[in-house]
Chain A
Amino acid sequence: MNDPKAFRFVGSRSIRPDGVEKVTGRAQYGADLSLPGMLTGKIVRSTRAHARIRHIDVTQAMSLPGVLAVITGDDFPDLERRMLPMGEQQMDVRDFIDNTMARGKVLYHGHAVAAVAAVSPDIAAQAAELIKVEYEPLPVVMDLDAALAPQATLLHEDQVTLTMQGPVENPVPTNVAFYMPLKKGDIDTGFAAAEVVLENTYTTKTVHQGYIEPHACVADAKQGGRIDIWCSTQGPFLVRTLTALALEKPVSDIKVTPSEIGGGFGGKLAVYLEPVAALLSMRSGRPVKLVMSREEVLRATGPTSATRTRVKVGAKKDGTLTAVQAKLEFEAGAFKGSPVVPAVMTMLAAYELDHVLVEGYDIVVNKPKVAAYRAPGAPQAAFAIESILDELAGELGIDPIDLRLKNAVSEGSMAVYGPQFKAIGLKEALQAVKTHPVYADPVGPNQGRGVALGFWFNVGMQSSAAVRLNENGSATVITGNPDIGGSRASMALMAAEELGIPAEQVQAVVGNTETIGYCDVTGGSRTTFATGMAVIEAARDAVARLCERAALTWDVPVEQVSWAHGQAIHIAGDHAPLSLDEITANAIHTGGPIAGAAQVNAQDAGPGFGVQCARVQVDPETGYTRVIGYVAAQDVGKAIHPSYVEGQLQGGVAQGIGWTLNEEYIYDADGVLLNAGFLDYRVPVASDLPMIDTILVEVPHPSHPYGVRGVGETPIVPPLAAMANAIAAASGVRMRDLPISPPRLYQAITAQGA
């Protein structure tokens, strides 16, 4: 690994390559492309949360002048059920089609049932109104208790409970789609050794990723069978795979160009619109644009699971944990696939524990199918364990950071979920928060501080990168990962570091599925780690070519040439160094254009640990919580561009604060979402928050050439418990159910006073 101090450009705060276009309004997002002859598409959505579809009548819509195509679920293929590996997740292909457009049954209010394409938005809206769907209503299943009741209505009559090893013994139809236990040691032994045992239940509500840009795409099916798709996505190659599946076409017939992306947080790893737009375009012979409204985004995309976690901890009086048992129940929405597996695996990853039993249940309900949301499952699990550890610290009279330091994992520890940790900076992050003023300063009346930590695995997976050198010595870097938070700046810095030219001379570009090789999604906190690794290797490949050209120019063996500070050096010193621009300017005489490429399947992503402290003031007369200080420390490995790393920490904290204080889906008895808009689904605004201090702990990850580890997801793991712990300290009331909105907190404070 490079000596961290030796970096010339990595670690600087360069201006992002795409910045000017984004501050001047020229950058093109999903809804910003228009093509000649383009039609407007519109999706007809279920007005029931659970019903059989008896009949869909599209004849009136089809005969409306200006309507060029109408499709329903019957227009999509009837695929055999099978699991499609998708990097860090799997997807049931039949569920994917059924979620794209309902067949036979609708499973949530807002479920797509038909779509139209017309010459104007007005005509598309009229046509959508003319599509008549006849429903046979079924009882709705809106929460865990309803789904688990003995005579519960079943969403999927053929669904049985699966485990990692296949179906459970004597399977019967059920709303429980999956069961996963994680066992280590023997919990009876562990609890027998405990001097203190605490047990409580913690719940969280359905919340949405809340990206500001609604899903949007344009599909253009050409005569001859090829389809061009422009869309806002975290995974252009994933869109290609799934659209090909839904249209029963080879992937080579489909080109996906990712637009700029206006936020995703995991929610734009799901594919909703592209197969629909593509099919409408095939039927009409015209380009079709589909853009969701905010209401559609909230009703029919995302969200993440509502959860219930029962957790029991045992400890010695000195704070040593002896055992943890937990039962996690996660709502999956209408189709299996909640993030309960990562929740089970991450929940106790930060602690040295010999005796553990964590059991996870994936349970379907009549809500939209959940999508990934930033460290999927980990925040809900951390809310439970990090809250109860705060309660334990209070019970034992131990400082909450000291309690965690006593039990924290470090290099060499075996993670409860399996692997052995290499170098990690958890204890460093704990120590950093302990001395920060948000934690250390005195606390005023009605104020409190709360600490929590968080863990996320991060992933590696497949990435391609190309580095092309221009005749003036500048470079273009192409990758296939949509830039969701400034990743072009990091790619430019890493290429600059290898080539030895300033980042301003590197243009970082996001390619489409035909201009760059396969890349897995922008997700799993993998882009700077894995795609960055591909960029470094591609740049090194280009440097090898540059050295060859210098050797050719000097007529010396290439082994006698090295590369430093943007120059080819003749090691023996017989020739004056040749700079990158001199070599590229002369390339026509040495073999033509110069470029490098790399393809990686990055393994061994560095895990991310973060520690956060919230400081709040609670108004006992209203239950209103004001966040008055916040610090987030995290082991980031190596911050390639510190500003964007800080931004990841700050953004995750803000989302976590919203999750804790305000955000929740509110349904009526019929399963209709009542707050499908930003007025009533209230995400944090600027006046809700203080400055969010960050501490970047840099313990280099041994499996990355620069020490990079994933950064983006860990920051949303600690805030739920950090906030709840701070509120408990400030108000004297322990809130175990989110959100801790003013009416709920006021009621709890009043109840305790009475």
Chain B
Amino acid sequence: MSRNHVSTTVNGEPVEFLCDTSQSLLSVLRDELGLIGTKEGCSTGDCGACSITLDGRLVCSCLVLGVEAQDRSVGTVEGVADHQVLHPLQQKFLEHAALQCGICTPGLIVAAKALLEKNPDPSEEEVRYWLAGNLCRCTGYDKIIRAVLDAAATLR
């Protein structure tokens, strides 16, 4: 079985990889590119742990094929911080203790960043509905919602 050659952009950097036709972008990120920040919780698009952006749009990378990344721009949690400086969302997640086990955190940060880029001043309800595709089993969401609202205020 021959593998497909794909040229794409990941977190602003040009990237090339080989992948099987049936291989998900999630698997490519983790297994081919070593970007393990994107997590696998279900592989059926139900948990949001693998959230990334594709040309700026929030998607579950388990539902995207690696070959679909050709000539697109992929954003993962590894690209959220500015080198050594945490993004305000990351800082607020830490200050608010918005993570316990932390497995859902990369997906939530990617998803929340996509929200704030569309809507810099969301209401609590808007944050809750935007993040409804990202499961967290530890926190009850309370501190996550507060962290996102606080980060939004910081960014404005």
Contact = CB atoms under 8 A, between A and B. Distances in A.
B94 A689 contact: no
Interface in B7-60: 20, 30-31, 35-44, 46-47, 49
Contact of A692 (B102, B127, B129, B142): B142
Contact of A23 (B93, B132, B141): B93
B142 A677 contact: no
Contact of A213 (B20, B80, B90, B101): B101
Interface string B92-113: 0111110111111110010000
B132 A687 contact: yes
A165 interface: no
B91 to A, nearest CB: 8
Interface stretch (A179-187, A582-590, A647-655): A647-655
A27 B100 CA distance: 13
A677 B127 contact: no
Given A22-B105, A677-B42, A263 B97 contact: no
B137 A689 contact: no
A650 B143 contact: yes
A683 to B, nearest CB: 6
A225 B46 CA distance: 42
B74 interface: no
Given A27-B102, A650-B143, A691-B142, A644 B137 contact: no
Interface string B75-101: 011101100001000100111110111
A265 B103 CA distance: 14
B149 to A, nearest CB: 11
A212 B47 contact: yes
Given A651-B138, A685-B132, A122 B86 contact: no
B145 interface: yes
A13 B141 contact: no
B94 A686 contact: no
Nearest to B95: A15
Interface string A21-62: 011111111011010000000000000000000000000000
- B-side binding surface: helix, strand, loop or mixed? loop
Contact of A686 (B81, B103, B144): B144
A484 interface: yes
B77 A686 contact: no
Q: In this complex, which of A291, A648, A678 has the most chain B Cβ atoms within 10 angstroms of its Cβ?
A: A678
A683 B20 CA distance: 33
Q: How large is the interface on A (under 10, 10 to 19, 20 to 34, 35 or more residues)?
A: 35 or more
A696 B105 CA distance: 26
A651 B44 contact: no
A643 interface: yes
B61 interface: no
A691 B140 CA distance: 8
Contacts of B152: none
A486 B105 CA distance: 13
Nearest to A260: B102
Contacts of A342: none
Interface string A642-675: 0110111011111100000000000000000000
Q: In this complex, which of A19, A25, A484, A689 has the most chain B Cβ atoms within 10 angstroms of its Cβ?
A: A25
A263 B103 contact: yes
Contacts of B142: 650, 689, 691-692
30 contacts: A16-B94, A18-B102, A24-B37, A24-B86, A25-B77, A25-B78, A27-B102, A28-B36, A34-B31, A122-B20, A209-B137, A210-B137, A211-B101, A211-B103, A212-B49, A212-B101, A214-B40, A260-B101, A485-B101, A646-B143, A647-B138, A651-B139, A655-B137, A677-B44, A678-B41, A679-B44, A685-B131, A686-B128, A686-B134, A686-B145
8 smallest beta-carbon distances between A and B, as pairs:
A25-B37, A262-B103, A654-B140, A643-B97, A650-B140, A22-B102, A678-B46, A25-B77
Interface of A: 13, 15-16, 18-20, 22-29, 31-32, 34, 122, 209-214, 260-265, 291, 293-294, 484-486, 641, 643-644, 646-648, 650-655, 677-679, 683-689, 691-692
